[in-house]
């Protein structure tokens, strides 16, 4: 396929005129949700990545607010291009040179906003379609 056909394929996935996933030059291209906006709750973790519990053995949580002005912006979309796509997160919660090859299966090649649900989505290139 030509570069123009590649761009048309990416645009077709974003617009929905092409179904996800698509195969292109031995890679799989698919839609993936990157993040939403609004308030979400997370578990507090210690320095080892283990969930922290309170005196009553309940997990300790905290709230984060993914502000629409920040996350639904062109600046954020540009920052998403190139981020790795993981098959699963490493136990250490940190991606590094040692565990990279065991977890990274692709990268985000385009990012876009779904305004009706206020989420950021991406087109992921998965290097091995068997994954």
Q: What is the pLDDT of residues 38-60, one digit of tens each?
A: 999 999 999 877 899 999 999 99
How does the average pLDDT of the chain come out, rounded? 91
Is the pTM of the predicted complex or chain greater than 0.85?
Answer: no
Phi, then psi, of 13 in degrees rounded to 5:
-65, -45
Query: In which element (H, E) is residue 5 found?
Result: helix 3-15
| Model pLDDT for residues 60-90, shown as the tens digit of each residue | 999 999 999 999 999 999 999 999 999 877 7
Contacts of 58 (CB under 8 A, 6+ apart): none
Higher local confidence (pLDDT), 127 or 2: 127
Q: Where are the domains of the chain?
A: 3-37+66-126
Question: Is the separation of the CB atoms in 22 and 8 below 8 Å?
Answer: no
């Amino acid at each position: 396929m030509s570069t123009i056909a590649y761009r048309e394929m990416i645009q077709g996935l974003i617009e929905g005129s092409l179904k996800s996933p698509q195969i292109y030059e031995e890679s799989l291209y698919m839609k993936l949700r990157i993040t939403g906006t609004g308030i979400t709750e997370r578990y507090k973790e210690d320095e080892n990545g283990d969930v922290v519990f309170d005196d009553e053995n309940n997990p300790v949580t905290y709230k984060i607010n993914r502000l629409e002005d920040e996350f639904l912006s062109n600046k954020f979309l540009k920052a998403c291009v190139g981020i790795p796509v993981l098959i699963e997160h490493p136990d250490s919660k940190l991606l590094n040179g040692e565990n990279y090859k065991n977890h990274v299966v692709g990268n985000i090649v385009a990012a876009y906003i779904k305004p009706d649900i206020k989420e950021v989505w991406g087109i992921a290139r998965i290097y091995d379609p068997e994954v």
